[in-house]
Amino acid sequence: MRKFQSWLYTYFIPQKYHEDELLFRKARLFVNTVAITFIFSLIYVVNSTLLAMSHIMWQIGLYSILFLSLLFCLRGGLSLFACGNIFSFLFYSSAIYDIYYSGGLYSSVLPWLAIVPILALLITSVRNGVVWMFISLVSVIVVGTLQLMHFPFPTEVKQEYMDLLFFNSFPGFIVIVFVIAAAMETAYTGSMKKLEEKNKIIEEEKKRSDELLLNILPAEIMEELKETGKTTAHNYDLVTVLFADFVNFTNIIEELPPEELVAGIDTYFGTFDAIVEKFGVEKIKTVGDAYICVSGLPSVNSSNPTLMVDVALEMMEAVEQLKKQCRAAGKICFDIRIGIHSGPVVAGVVGVKKFAYDIWGDTVNTAARMQQCSEPGKINISNTTHDLIKHRFACTKRGKIEAKHKGLIDMYFVEKRK
């Protein structure tokens, strides 16, 4: 059965309808309904022939040919809309003819009028469905009125034919109603399935976009941006900013091929990202060979100075491991130097395109100077940060050191955890 249906669809439905799901569904319903109507029309032709009812035989035979020709019209290029309207008219006029010759209001063919507006609705348009519903209702009212007025409907139809018509009509009616209901259910199920698939794709895309946003913005800022379409800059009284950069980077650039250089930086920065994520510190950005992160925002954390020094120590430990791996592989190693300072900052999102979460203030500038005044493999901190972390870390005082545009600043090297 499925193979036969597939052949019908392939043979009679033009390719353009296969490419549009909605039109293909309507075309399938049209082909199925016409095929079923043609088959039952042939049964009526056989019955009327056997019962020697030639006028009915020729009428139904003509309609059978007309019904079948609609399939070839569709295949030949006539629009589905036109074929559907012609079918509705043929179906309606055939039913009226049979109602007239088989008893009027009490004809077993009368329920077939209910099929006309439904098919017009599903195959052509809602407007056509309404028109045919009106026509069908008026027809039933007219037939009923004539019946009440004792209109003499023809009686030459044999009782045997009436009995056969009853047994043939209702199975046909049931089959067509089932085909219509199956088409509607299949369309609904298919639509729901596609809706679920689209919702799943949307959810996956949303998740992917959220993940991308989280690579750019802190979670709290991302939620604010999604809810309001904008973000507000915030003041933070105490955060700790870390700057890290590669030692002698300019000379290294000249020695390495671009691919190896980028791969090396990516390895180091990827390792730093993992450490930052582990400690819940916010990465701000990378600028060239500089890596910048901050602790204490957007979620306020009073212990952010000690947390940031823990991050710096773990970065140094990770760099030592990476250097061993580079030496074993015969590659150039990177040394880093780190600078840390604590104080107030302003944080917010800047830009409209390729926007970025950033921090501003003297604290940021001072942290950069701490990094510039540091040494390979060392963590250089300001006196301000030292006062906040000295209870947990052993440090070496370096004394007052000149920092560009900052003058003399007391600096310390962090040695280890106490």
Domains belonging to the chain, first-starting first, are: 2-202 (no CATH), 230-417 (3.30.70.1230)
Strand partners, 412: 381, 397
Q: Give residue 51's pLDDT.
A: 67
What single letter denotes the amino acid at residue 51? L
Which residue ranges of the chain lie beneath pLDDT 50? none
Name the pTM for this structure: 0.57
Asked whether 113 and 100 are in contact (CB, 8 A), the reply is no
> Residues 225, 349: contact at Cβ < 8 Å?
yes
> Which token pair is 88?
């509705």
> Do 41 and 59 contact (CB within 8 A), yes or no?
no
Q: What is the pLDDT of residues 142-155, one digit of tens each?
A: 888 888 888 887 65
pLDDT given for residue 167 in this prediction = 59
DSSP string, 159-191: HHHHHHHHHHHHHHHHHHHHHHHHHHHHHHHHH
Structure letter (DSSP) for residue 299:
S
H helix intervals, 256-361: 258-279, 304-328
Q: How many Å apart are CA 283 and CA 242, to the nearest integer?
A: 10
**Residue 400: per-residue pLDDT:** 92
pLDDT in tens, 181-199: 776 777 677 677 878 888 8
